[in-house]
Amino acid sequence: MENKILHTKITLSRYADGLLCILYRKYRARIKGVYSDAKAKKFSFGEFQSFANKYISGDIIEICNELKDLNMLNFTVYDNMIYFMHLQDDAIDFMERRCMNSHFDLGKQISNSFFE
């Protein structure tokens, strides 16, 4: 099955882009450590809440749905809160292509997404 996201111009909202950058950065750090690829893609409620409450305002479920609609994120909602997140392969492919661009700075993108 062909990955459609590789052939499409993607436009993300500021917060969706920032969230994706944070998840990707955490994923890359885990891969370099002792996590398997499958485990590195999974984020629990506690892991997610630690940075979501600090940086993301607005409807977090709406932000996650934006990424889910692009097949970049899967998540479970319990009691109107994100309980579990799973970074999808399309998100990793998308971010890896962005990071190959010499003008793309992951840390700067995260800062721009949340602090401008």
Q: Quickly list DSSP for 5-74.
A: GGGS-----HHHHHHHHHHHHHHHHHHHTT--HHHHTEEEHHHHHHHHHHH--S-HHHHHHHHHHTTSEE
Is 81 within a domain?
yes
For the chain, the domain total comes to 1
pTM beyond 0.85: the answer is: no
Is the separation of the CB atoms in 23 and 43 below 8 Å?
yes
Strand partners, 73: 87
Q: Under 8 Å CB-to-CB from 109, ≥6 apart: which residues?
A: 17, 18, 21
User: Along the 116 residues of the chain, how does pLDDT read in single tens digits?
Assistant: 444 444 457 888 888 888 888 888 889 889 988 899 999 999 987 777 766 666 565 578 888 999 999 999 999 988 877 888 999 999 999 988 887 766 656 566 555 555 44
Distances in Å between the Cα of 14 and the Cα atoms of 20, 32, 82, 109, 116 are: 10, 27, 19, 9, 10
Alpha-carbon distance of 32 to 15, in angstroms, equals: 26
- Quick check: is 113 in a domain? no
Question: Would you say residue 114 lies in a domain?
Answer: no
Which CATH number does the domain housing residue 65 bear? 1.10.10.10
Secondary element (H or E) of residue 75? strand 73-78
pLDDT value, residue 2: 43
Give a yes or no: residue 6 inside a domain: no
Look at residue 60 and tell me if it is in a domain.
yes
Residue 28 lies in a domain: yes
What pLDDT sits at residue 51?
A: 65
- The answer to the question of residue 104 being in a domain is yes
Q: Does residue 2 belong to any structural domain of this protein?
A: no
CA distances from 31 to 36, 48, 73, 95 (A): 7, 18, 18, 15
Residue ranges making up the domain that contains 45: 12-108
